Amino acid sequence: MKMMKITVLLVAGVSLAACDIPKQNKTVDNGIDAKHLSQLVAGVWVDPNGCDHWIIDDGVEGYLSERMTPDGRPVCSGVAPPNTAVGPFREGSDFSDTI
């Protein structure tokens, strides 16, 4: 039953995006949680070395990118222990990620 619901959601998402297949405009999210990508909301994921990355769980898409000092070295702030994620990284989408 749960699997069925997920399938329905996925199909709905794909059909909403149908006007742009194959997806040519990579700068927007056309799915259930449609928006321009500049509006993504990030949290911090701390890698096994203790250094920070921006983490964004945007429904069916996930993003990860480095946090850097002005000269390009990793920022290892100690905001959380290694292998943890903190902050509002799931706030950008209401898509319920049950998988």
Cα atoms in the Cβ-side hemisphere of radius 13 Å centred on 38? 0
- Compute the least distance from the CB of residue 60 to other proteins, in Å: 5
- Distance between CA 1 and CA 3 in Å, rounded? 5
Locate the DSSP E strands across the chain. 28-29, 35-36, 43-46, 52-58, 61-66, 84-86
Closest-CA residue to 60 (of 4, 18, 11, 24): 11
Contact positions toward other proteins, by CB under 8 A? 13-14, 17, 21-24, 26-31, 36-38, 40, 42, 54, 56, 58, 60-73, 75-79
- Compute the least distance from the CB of residue 17 to other proteins, in Å: 7
Asked if residues 57 and 69 have their Cβ atoms less than 8 Å apart, the reply is no
Which is nearer to other proteins, 48 or 70 (by Cβ)? 70
- Compute the least distance from the CB of residue 82 to other proteins, in Å: 16
Which is nearer to other proteins, 77 or 83 (by Cβ)? 77
Which is nearer to other proteins, 22 or 81 (by Cβ)? 22
Which is nearer to other proteins, 48 or 71 (by Cβ)? 71
